[in-house]
Structure 1
């Protein structure tokens, strides 16, 4: 059985479409919740990859949230192991901060809640050419880390996706989103929809009908590309051991 270590940040968090697709490919998800006492392994010998999902906290909360400090201290272990890493929203911001980049709110205090367009860079065309609009729920963004490759850009928050050393990927948006997840987030944090940069409920639902299926199709393409990096790393390790 192939195992992927998954970090979530709330007891009610779900892996959504990401988890569904990985499970359909035969991966078992080892889900950890550090904020509620779950430990993180001191090595990744039993795991093929790591996914860190989003959450309402900030990557800058290491001084008030011990689990954020724990994750920031642990992510370098993943990078050193060369095991593939996928950071989603907060998970991408944590990766960026570990790599020395700044994570902060928009200069005009604008956030992104809803479906917004992204544009692939030349380096990101193989990954994002078939993706027009993606779902966001965040008020902070990240600078591009030194040595990272920008894969997709947005209008309000420029840096939307990047990769680092071919195995670590950060996505500012939420590819795991489903209609049910979106409804739950809206109901839970309704007051945020009045803030600058937030789409109305009606507009979010309308755009989900337009772009939700496209996002699911894209994810089914992206996940195999990401898994390919896992398989490539496994082959490289085998070659090193036999050399």
Structure 2
């Protein structure tokens, strides 16, 4: 796949959860970004695409299909996409949707994992996530998933076993790799109700954002460049 398509589709489930710091990396490498809004736009454009499609996070759950019927279509399209081995990067809700499309269970976890911590990376050869060793990443989820069959486990956290998996040229990341240090205040405002319900100390989280977001942006660049190089092989 030497002539890898130069457009990247990104499916959003919430306006301020965008590609963040990853957007500049893609632009610098000559890629164009096309955002598609879940629940509003036709997702077939993004999910039937031969190039890279990224499925971003959001506050709804994979199993909220009664309230958000578009999730049924998204999961079905994703199932077909993954069976066709088209490259897909899922972040948080995106990873949960991928797990569901691959036949795994997605369900509420025992605790909300919101905040920064390091990952325990699996000892796999040439892991795309290797740059994240000893790096704090941002977690922001209440749901979790079983590891789908025929996938490679890539990472765990202290609270959740399944934090990342690989399926061919697709990656599912439960944690947030894309955070942009300058824009995390939007998350603190937009997710106010959830943060209060989960009894998260917002001032502490803001301080942690200022400590850990910039180092993560450096490592996220390495991860994305690793991934894009892998897709071109």
**Common topology (TM > 0.5):** yes
5 Å-filtered alignment, 1:18-97, equals 18-41=22-45, 43-44=48-49, 47-97=50-100
**Residue 213 of structure 1: how far off its partner (Å):** 2.0
- The 1:2/1:182 distance shift into structure 2, 3 A limit, reads same
Contact 2:128 2:227 in 1 (8 A): no
| Alignment-derived partner of residue 158 in structure 2 | 155
Deviation of 1:34 after TM superposition, in Å, equals 2.6
Output the TM-score relative to the length of structure 2: 0.88
1:48 and 1:230 in contact (8 A); partners too? no
Q: After superposing the two structures, state which structure 1 stretch, 89-98 or 132-141, moved more.
A: 132-141
Structure 1 distance, partners of 2:86, 2:22, is 18
What's the CA shift string for 1:150-190, capped at 9, x where partnerless?
1011111221111012x110001111112343211111222
Distance 1:37 1:220 in 2: 29
Q: How many residues align?
A: 226
Which 5+ residue runs of structure 2 have no aligned equivalent? none
- RMSD over aligned CA atoms reads 2.0
2:13 equivalent among 9, 14, 17: 9
Task: For 1:195 and 1:88, locate their aligned partners in 2 and report how far apart those are by CA, in whole Å.
Answer: 23
Cα 1:141/1:178, change in 2 over 3 Å:
same
Calculate the TM-score normalised by the size of structure 1: 0.85
**1:199 offset after TM fit, Å?**
4.1
State the 1:124 CA deviation.
7.0
Higher helix residue share: 1
CA contact (8 A) 2:14 2:57 kept: no
Hey, what does 1:240 align to over in structure 2?
A: none
